[in-house]
Structure 1
């Protein structure tokens, strides 16, 4: 029989109560759905078993990472179309309790179970990480960082390019180069921190050393860069040596909670605070405040999520938690600003660069796709698939304003009240 796709398409629409906006092609070659839409390829019945056993994002993620699901056509368009079903239905979606009372819902589930067939789905793909122990201890943070960043420096070179900057770039125009946009981002941060020769800069979550090298070479500061990733530290130290900056830059494998050699004139934290966790964020902000001289500046560059009407109902993204950023937590920008101020900072500027991250992610995806076979050899097919889906989905998230990214400039203002900030710190175009 070659009717799996029409049956699957009809059952999913019955289950969801809304039209399925993508085309479906099943393992038997059959197809159903809008003819001009991107195609969701269901390669085997195992994909259905994964989804039925673990409904929602995690089941979809497991099927995708294992290669049981694929998308043909425009990946971004497909994710955009599906986002309304997976992430954005909000109050329009029925609760599971309400749904199971609906005879049509129960009938659709029975139909999908029959179509999926036995047995139970296999174990999750090996790329999935499981939580162990308490969140955001030094040990669990090291484990989470290692899972994400110790994938291999060669793999990150494919995705990030020569700049090796793993955070939102700052674009002058959409058709600019990734390298220029990342350089401009680093320079923007240095200008916001008002770096001058001889100052001490602490770069928290220094990655592969890009900010440290730029700040030392272009602004003459002395830099301490800290990371929990051994592979990042090794790579960064080589870059520092190759640039002839070993007298001005020290790279450490160190937790921010263990830095005790302040004071510093400035601190940059670029794409690191997402790893801190809600329960530890005030400690993070307080620790950095103590490390600054009076009048010292912090530039906190951080991804944000949109606030929920009921914050107590917010849950961590299952796919990202299991495959990408274990234990990572996003907060609304207002929460971040409040925590920084509770720690004693005076927040002087908040700049949203949301659209810039969508551009950055699309460039990273393009680089990965252009060198796909090598990326797979360096990691695994599943790992490469994780990164392609993660970055493309995030690009859509930033474009649709589901996600944001903000640079928050804060000052350890002394008791005199003299922040050292100019009267006009920004010029608007």
Structure 2
């Protein structure tokens, strides 16, 4: 019958209600094969009514994210082009609290679901979703569970995405053509130079991952390194890599909370991509503990993602909180520096690496795409979908300037004077 609305037409109404827009930014393919939306736009395939039901129960990024992880929604075109189109509305924002659909939007979504036979009980979340933590947030036990959710996925999976460097933080690129492995090596070397490492320097690497920073500091600078992580899988692989490098006499890898370290003093502390897990309320304790562990004149490098678009509070109903970094929390750069500096700790340098992280994330996505079948075999298709979604969306968030990543270098008072200029490490 002429003028009759197809499944895709109805889905376009539903997505418009979720996004809060009458102009759909993508083209939709319904489970019946029908198509709706602007010609030439990236195509999103909705494969079942269950996807619509998820959006009804959780309008916004969480419902759409769950449907994508479950394979009920798929992207037929380039992931970056698709996410760029979908990010036209703040309800799908990556980091901050998503805006919520109005009651009128919710009623429109309900009406579409009724017409398409999608009404029903809330579907169970995909298995890859982290259960909401119990107990005090950022207690040692809950932090260990949150870290395990993200990092104890599969060392083989991370090897495919990260490559031989096994570094899971922002690289430092001389040019966009530098290449991921060289850019990661450049980042590790930059950190060592900023910390002023020399033969015999005692380094604490907080959140040591798979041991790359510890190995680099010991091999290239002769440092004595203690690396700590809460991930059993990371520690197992890091110890193996340390042994293969012949560095067991200089590198000690531990499964240990930063709050439990007692064998001070250290000449230097590196915290690379770890502070995001600490939480705003725990930051004063984090800073006090690292300050206490440093000898007078010792240096701390805090490398962390910062939220640039105003302030951010932890929101358990975002995709990133449920699937990627449970209990993770981003601070603004000004807030971070204000917490780190004190009468004991002098800020020597702040370096912004926002564009570098966008390049790093795009390189990780490329490696995931190139090794997709092996990545799925190493963990699960849902887990690989989580990483593709979060890394691609994060790359765009860094490119837009909503998030940044910064290295803050500090020195504890009471020791030798710091260098007059930053040319000491540049």
| TM-score between both structures, scaled by the size of structure 2 | 0.93
Retained in 2: the 8 A contact 1:48–1:116?
A: no
Deviation at 1:320, TM superposition (A): 1.2
Query: Secondary structure of 1:201's match?
Result: strand
1:1-55 deviation line (CA, Å, top 9, x unaligned): 8811122214543662441111111101000111111111111111000000111
Deviation at 1:83, TM superposition (A): 1.2
CA distance in 2, matches of 1:11, 1:230: 43
Query: Secondary structure of 2:341's match?
Result: helix
CA distance in 1, matches of 2:237, 2:300: 25
Q: Counterpart in 2 of 1:55?
A: 59
Retained in 1: the 8 A contact 2:205–2:214?
A: yes
CA distance in 1, matches of 2:240, 2:32: 52
Residues 339 and 116 from structure 1, CA distance in 2 versus in 1: closer, same or farther, beyond 3 angstroms?
farther
Residues 228 and 75 from structure 1, CA distance in 2 versus in 1: closer, same or farther, beyond 3 angstroms?
same
Residues 265 and 354 from structure 1, CA distance in 2 versus in 1: closer, same or farther, beyond 3 angstroms?
same
Q: Counterpart in 1 of 2:234?
A: 232
Q: Counterpart in 2 of 1:165?
A: 167
Deviation at 1:106, TM superposition (A): 3.1
Retained in 2: the 8 A contact 1:199–1:222?
A: yes
1:114 equivalenced with 2:115 (yes/no)? yes
Query: Secondary structure of 1:84's match?
Result: coil
Give runs of aligned pairs for residues 27-426 of structure 1, distance below 5 A.
Answer: 27-85=31-89, 86-87=91-92, 96=101, 99-100=102-103, 102=104, 106-131=107-132, 132-308=134-310, 311=311, 315=315, 318-342=318-342, 344-414=344-414, 420-426=417-423
CA distance in 1, matches of 2:29, 2:185: 44
Query: Secondary structure of 1:295's match?
Result: strand
1:9 equivalenced with 2:9 (yes/no)? no
Retained in 2: the 8 A contact 1:237–1:251?
A: yes
CA distance in 1, matches of 2:119, 2:107: 19
Higher mean C-alpha displacement, 191-200 vs 6-15: 6-15
Structure 2 unaligned segments of length 5 or more: list them: none
CA distance in 2, matches of 1:145, 1:56: 26
Query: Secondary structure of 2:88's match?
Result: helix
Residues 351 and 419 from structure 1, CA distance in 2 versus in 1: closer, same or farther, beyond 3 angstroms?
farther
Structure 1 unaligned segments of length 5 or more: list them: none
Residues 89 and 380 from structure 1, CA distance in 2 versus in 1: closer, same or farther, beyond 3 angstroms?
closer
CA distance in 1, matches of 2:188, 2:228: 17
CA distance in 2, matches of 1:89, 1:398: 10
Residues 312 and 240 from structure 1, CA distance in 2 versus in 1: closer, same or farther, beyond 3 angstroms?
closer
CA distance in 1, matches of 2:200, 2:69: 48
Deviation at 1:78, TM superposition (A): 1.4
Higher mean C-alpha displacement, 11-20 vs 288-297: 11-20
Retained in 2: the 8 A contact 1:66–1:125?
A: yes
Residues 14 and 161 from structure 1, CA distance in 2 versus in 1: closer, same or farther, beyond 3 angstroms?
closer
CA distance in 2, matches of 1:347, 1:215: 22
CA distance in 1, matches of 2:193, 2:312: 38
Query: Secondary structure of 2:210's match?
Result: coil
Deviation at 1:363, TM superposition (A): 0.8
Give the 4+ runs in structure 1 shifted more than 6 A: none
CA distance in 2, matches of 1:298, 1:312: 25
Retained in 1: the 8 A contact 2:190–2:425?
A: no
Query: Secondary structure of 1:279's match?
Result: helix
1:358-387 deviation line (CA, Å, top 9, x unaligned): 111111111111111111111111111101
CA distance in 2, matches of 1:53, 1:303: 31
Retained in 2: the 8 A contact 1:158–1:368?
A: yes
CA distance in 2, matches of 1:76, 1:121: 30
Higher mean C-alpha displacement, 289-298 vs 130-139: 130-139
Retained in 2: the 8 A contact 1:2–1:29?
A: no
Deviation at 1:346, TM superposition (A): 1.3
CA distance in 2, matches of 1:183, 1:78: 32
CA distance in 2, matches of 1:87, 1:118: 23
CA distance in 2, matches of 1:213, 1:304: 27
| TM-score between both structures, scaled by the size of structure 1 | 0.92
Deviation at 1:118, TM superposition (A): 3.1
Matched length: 418
Root mean square deviation of aligned Cα: 2.3
